[in-house]
Amino acid sequence: MIRVVTDETTFRQLAADAPTEARIPVAAHVDADPLDAYRRLRGDHGVFYETTGGQDGWGYFAIDPERVVTVGTEESAFDALRETLAAERLVRGDCAVPSPCGLFGWLSYDAVRELEPLPDETTDERAHGGRARP
């Protein structure tokens, strides 16, 4: 069962005052096993994040992304993320969900090369698209 938590009147007021490119979250409570729901809906580029270890928390799954950001070996992953986020506008209203309309995904292990120097004997896997070489 799905129960929309966001009040329609509040949503409409936020939308009327927000820039046209803004995202306005609509929160819903779904009575379902989140992993099962993700398995049924997942596709290319889908992600599932959930609090584990018996803790209460939030679970997120994302499917059918609006955009996939990929960088080459000579580009900065962090610059690409900064550029992507600079164009985003979020109007939260009274939404209590952490990271609504968020950016979800992963960075290659080798993105650490942009943060700190590594010894010369390490292999730069970025040239292989982040995949292990044969």
pLDDT value at residue 125: 67
Task: Give the Cα separation of 54 and 42 in Å (integer).
Answer: 24
Does pLDDT of 32 surpass 90?
no
What does the pLDDT look like over 46-63, one tens digit per residue?
888 887 766 677 778 888
Does pLDDT of 129 surpass 70?
no
Does pLDDT of 134 surpass 70?
no
Q: What is the mean pLDDT of the chain?
A: 83
User: What is the three-class DSSP state of 12?
Assistant: helix
Range of lowest pLDDT (40-44, 76-80, 110-114): 110-114
Does pLDDT of 124 surpass 80?
no
Q: What is the mean pLDDT of residues 89-100?
A: 86
Distances (CA, A) of 2 to 32, 33, 94, 129: 9, 12, 19, 39
**Inter-residue contact 47 to 105 (CB < 8 Å):** yes
CA atoms within 13 A on the CB side of 128: 10
pLDDT value at residue 72: 83
